[in-house]
Amino acid sequence: MKFKLLFLSAAFIFASNCLAQVPTGDVLVRGGTVLTVTNGTLENTDVLILNGIITEIGENLSAPQGVSVVDAVGMYVMPGIIDAHSHIGISNVNESSAPVTAQVSVGDVLNPYSIAIYRALAGGVTSSHVMHGSANVIGGQNETIKHRWGLLDPDELRMADAPRTIKFALGENPTRVHGQGSNKRPASRMGVEYVLRETFAKAQRYQEAWAQYEEEAKSNPRAISPAYNGQLEVMSDILTGDILIHCHSYRADEILMLLDVLGDFGVNQITFQHVNEGFKIAPELAEFGAGASIFADWWAYKFEVYYSTAYNAAILTRNGVLTSINSDSGELNRHLYHEAAKSQKYGGLSDTEALSLITINPAKQLGIADRIGSIEVGKEGDLAIFDRHPLSIYAVNQKTIVDGITYFDIERDADDMRLSVDPESPIETTVLHSHDDTHQCLHEGALDLYDFLESN
């Protein structure tokens, strides 16, 4: 419990200093090989973070008084990894009751107690784009979070002022959920396009109605405003470019369809998620300026995901598409650096290109590249420190720093890092071997695999 008390008291001190501001720290990371991503590799270099911001990068920096020093000699310091597609740290994923749910937001149900956040930190991931699910053509709004493990107020998980984003989804998921599940539109890919066009058209009419009302209200104090519609408010914000679209998609044809729809409605900020057939339409994506956030080599889990290749990242990158690699998983996010390295085996991307897939590129896709995604003076102090080059299969993350605060340290990684325990939860035990122990350990709920295997 000590660690939690520490976190709590730290949080309290900062909260009382300045409300609504998250705690930041000071640290000097000394002597590491710094993989800046945007400015090459710097050997034997120090990185100084003050108040959560990188203030100096150079050799033989001195730590101001009271600033702790992390010895990174022989280690590799990279920007904190950014996962552009995740569902960790939220209590709800899909509001699957309707094909359009733009009005809901996973930002309303953040869960700072989710152990997946700590596990992500262990893999060097400092930020996640936590997304609504893909049940709906137009799903809910997403939230960009920073992994400040131990802060218990959900607001402290938010990356303040990060651009708003929303989830769209094409193909099998929305047609299965609404078409087959509820016998509603969309039941086909054509229906998906219909829902998109219909909803955008409604949003345009909503904007017009409000513009008309605002005009009339200037001269008529008794003017009556249009009915409030939370869903169309959000759709309007997409039309005006205040919300970035992140669209679950696999097939080339439906991706081109959405580009057409967006072109017709004057929307130009979109990142396609998964994009397994992106390699077929890389020039079109590049021309539109659309991003692609993909899996390294994950496919064939349903029919629309059969036509895939591990060269996707390299082909997209070489065609000038802004590309990132994401996890969409509370397990895969712990080794995104391995996923990035696969682009070197399949396609021969350079170290910097490969690292960009999990750092500066996702930052650009989320509209936060001015703040994180590379090691530069003025950026936020989010770092991962590996014992070997992070693109090596042998690399193990040692420390993860967010806003200058070390939130993961392999030396202080106790078995039980949960922030909250349900007092009514059972304690499951699984005994892997040790036949002699069975008389002590075989209590209710225990599964003795040794016995089990022997008896089978």
Query: What contacts 440, CB < 8 A, 6 or more positions away?
Result: none
Dmax (CA) of the chain: 89
| Contact letters for another protein, residues 229-248 (x by CB under 8 A) | xx------------------
Separation CA 423–CA 425 (nearest Å): 6
Cis preceding linkage at 163, omega within 30: no
Q: How far is CA 308 from CA 189, 250, 301, 336, in A?
A: 20, 9, 11, 19
Q: Does 209 bind another protein (CB under 8 A)?
A: no
Task: Identify the residue among 73, 161, 218, 422 touching another protein (CB under 8 A).
Answer: 422
Q: Does 415 bind another protein (CB under 8 A)?
A: yes
Query: What contacts 72, CB < 8 A, 6 or more positions away?
Result: 29, 30, 31, 32, 385
Whether the CB-CB separation of 206 and 231 falls below 8 Å is answered with no
Task: Identify the residue among 18, 73, 224, 453 touching another protein (CB under 8 A).
Answer: 224
Q: Does 98 bind another protein (CB under 8 A)?
A: yes
Nearer of residues 256 and 431 to another protein, judged by Cβ: 431
CA–centroid distance for 147 within its chain: 10
Q: Does 113 bind another protein (CB under 8 A)?
A: yes
Separation CA 432–CA 454 (nearest Å): 12
- The least CB distance from residue 293 to another protein, in Å, is 23
Residues 1-60 that bind another protein (CB under 8 A): 1-4, 12, 15, 19
| Contact letters for another protein, residues 120-149 (x by CB under 8 A) | --------------------x---------
Question: Minimal CA–CA distance to 293: which of 156, 131, 412?
Answer: 131
Q: How far is CA 316 from CA 42, 137, 310, 321, in A?
A: 28, 25, 11, 5
Task: Identify the residue among 24, 33, 36, 101 touching another protein (CB under 8 A).
Answer: 101
- The least CB distance from residue 406 to another protein, in Å, is 16
Q: Does 299 bind another protein (CB under 8 A)?
A: no
Where do contacts with another protein occur on this chain (CB under 8 A)? Answer: 1-4, 12, 15, 19, 91-92, 94-101, 103-106, 108-109, 111, 113, 140, 152-155, 182, 184, 222, 224-225, 227-230, 412-416, 418, 420-425, 427, 429-434, 437, 440-441, 443
